Amino acid sequence: MLISTSSGYLLILHDLDLTKSLEVGSYPILRARRTTSSSDLTTLSSSSGPRVSGSPSHHSDSNSSSEKHMSRASQREGISPRNSLEVLTPEVPGERDRGNCITSLQLHPKGWATLLRCSSNTDDQEWTCVYEFQEGAPVRPVSPRCSLRLTHYIEEANVGRGYIKELCFSPDGRMISSPHGYGIRLLGFDKQCSELIDCLPKEASPLRVIRSLYSHNDVVLTTKFSPTHCQIASGCLSGRVSLYQPKF
């Protein structure tokens, strides 16, 4: 499970087990940044759907002993235990010392990367960023196993401050649809709409604008590709929904 936070962290829950709860407050790196809100977990992306609880776990003594035994066994085998939490801090193109807020999260259909919509802490800049997952062998039994590499980015129109802008991958992962002012932009990794894995740059590169579509009279907050048809939907702040399809 991937979880983005309003304080700029990306959390990875390994080997998710929904029968157990997670005490996020027990992680000092997260607790130190939670100064403006009692709950800064803003976006969940999971194939199973249910949200993760932030309350302490209450199990019987027998369950607790069993979990501890399984945890020790996992460590002996060199793997992380169930629900082990990994905390990553995605790099953003803007000034690093200003901090950032992750407002939207999408996983690549093939699991290669994650798509984030980020804004500065002062809400005067927004970016769409693509990060490649890079896995490495753990140095110690429960050490982090993943890292993020910024591969592509583009600055967005800074309108509709304070509202979440929901963006998405196309079903094949070759294109991105992103809210942009009073419309949407279709973005690609190159002008040919190639697969991400076929055009990974050595350094972070700008996303390419394939097409811009403007049909709303208010700020667009969400957009989504149809999973089965050549169609895109967008919705704006005033409640209007627009549908687009290509002309062949």
| Mean pLDDT calculated for residue range 214-225 | 96
- pLDDT level of residue 243 (50, 70, 90 thresholds): very high
Residues 1-37: tens digit of each pLDDT: 888 888 888 988 888 888 876 665 555 555 444 333 3
Q: Does 135 or 212 have the greater pLDDT score?
A: 212
Domain limits of the chain? 2-244
Average pLDDT over residues 106-133: 91
Whole-structure pTM value: 0.76
Assign domain 2-244 one CATH number from 3.10.20, 3.40.1130, 2.130.10, 1.20.120.
2.130.10
Q: Which of 72-76, 87-91, 94-98, 105-109 has the highest mean pLDDT?
A: 105-109
Report DSSP state, residue 155: E
The strand pairing partners of 242, in sequence order, are 234
3-state secondary structure at position 102: strand
97: left (phi over 0), alpha (psi -120 to 50) or beta: alpha
Beta bridge mates, 188: 175, 208
**Mean of all residue pLDDT scores within the chain:** 78
